[in-house]
Amino acid sequence: MADAPPSRDAFDTRAVHAGRAVDPATGAVAAAIQPSTTFERAADGSYPRGHYYARVSNPNRLALETALASLEGGQAAAAFASGSAAALAVFQALAPGDHVVCSADAYHGIQRELRELMARWGLATTFVDTTDLAAVRAAFRPATRLLWLETPSNPLLRITDIAAASALAREHGATTVVDNTFATPVLQRPFEFGADLVVHSTTKYLGGHSDVTGGAVVTREDSALFTRIRDAQAIGGAVPSAFDCWLLLRGAATLPVRVRAQCASAGRIAAFLTEHPRVHTVHFPGLDTHPGHALAARQMRGPGAMLALQVRGGEAAALAAVAGTRLFTRATSLGSVESLIEHRATMEGPETRTPRDLIRLSIGLEDADDLIADLERALG
């Protein structure tokens, strides 16, 4: 499985073939779903087929982990039951007394893990605007072990310079993690810029159909830290089911074509919104007015398919626009085939820093003209 022929090297080819092989026993082209929780030992007590208990490993999870490591260009991956469980495993691999520097607009659930769960374990965190490298530098302490970046960020789509920030982390002996959920490896491969770990909520683009919850940690190279993340996975047990892994591997095959089509539509929708009189700001890295545009062009292979707009008239106008859509589905989450629209501040709760007049869009695979017509109606 892992040893695909060398010609199968380009990204789109790996998306289809990494982690997959024709079943030698049956000739089946699609992988079987293996529900067994336990695996037979040989007479001498060994496990010649590699698996012994499904919490620790199973064939579908191994296939998914092989594919994710290949797509990110990393050495290994560990799949989890959610993106949040993947992030928690990274934090649990640190020790009480350690210090984390984290993007101030990282996913709100990850901020809650640091503020509410890990603070009680003795992990300290400084939240900074990681687009400001001087602020990142100033946040490091002798006990800093981890720099957590999310780029593009949520929901303002701000762009952090992964190469410059990870160089600062290296100077301070800290590991750099990039939450690559929004960009996906189709558009951004953080290991090319010096990151050490990549985290995904595979619930989003990797799965791509709003029907599976999952997460992963991918490592550039084997390390003591990644061994502790594997321990959090195997001992802690927040693992995905065989069926979830099967769905995610199936999603990976179409990831490149989905993301490219979604990016193209997002670009057209961003251009339409920029011209709209009811919209005062559009946050989309593909626009040359976006503060991270030049950096995104260097660091990413496309602007992504997430965008945010701020409307005139404050929260009431934003809620009215969200209520007026027919094709966009009013729901949180992102990265699926159907387009989603969300009033982000009311989703994130009272302590949010997200502007009250902001609407977040996840662009799906519908006809872009239909999506534009729906927004035109809703904003009108």
Ligand X SMILES: *Cc1c(COP(=O)(O)O)cnc(C)c1O
Q: Contact with ligand X (CB under 6 A): which of 98, 113, 161, 179?
A: 179
Q: Contact with ligand X (CB under 6 A): which of 125, 184, 213, 310?
A: 213
Beta strand 175-179 pairing with 197-201 = parallel
Which residue in the block uniquely carries the two structure tokens 């770990």?
197
CA distances from 152 to 156, 188, 219 (A): 8, 10, 20
Residue 225: CB minimum distance to ligand X, A? 19
Q: Contact with ligand X (CB under 6 A): which of 125, 130, 203, 354?
A: 203
- Residue closer to ligand X by CB (options 116, 288) is 116
Q: Which residue's CB comes closest to ligand X? A: 83
CA angle 323–326–329, rounded 5-degree value: 75
Annotation says 112 is catalytic: no
Catalytic choice (98, 105, 161, 179): 179
CA distance 289 to 294: 10
CA distance 163 to 237: 33
Question: Could you give the string, one character per residue 153-172, with x where binding to ligand X holds by CB under 6 A and - elsewhere?
Answer: -x------------------
Range in contact with ligand X (rule: CB under 6 A) among 14-22, 106-114, 246-254, 269-277? 106-114
Farthest-apart Cα atoms in the chain, separation: 75
- Region for residue 109 given its phi and psi (left: phi exceeds 0; alpha: psi -120 to 50; beta: otherwise): alpha
Question: Could you give the string, one character per residue 46-85, with x where binding to ligand X holds by CB under 6 A and - elsewhere?
Answer: ------------------------------------xxx-
Range in contact with ligand X (rule: CB under 6 A) among 3-11, 169-177, 199-207, 359-367? 199-207
Buried b (16+ CB within 10 A) or exposed e, 251-265: bbbbbbebbebbbeb
Q: Does 233 bind ligand X (CB under 6 A)?
A: no
Site residues (CB under 6 A) for ligand X?
82-84, 107, 109-110, 150, 154, 179, 181-182, 201, 203-204, 213, 215
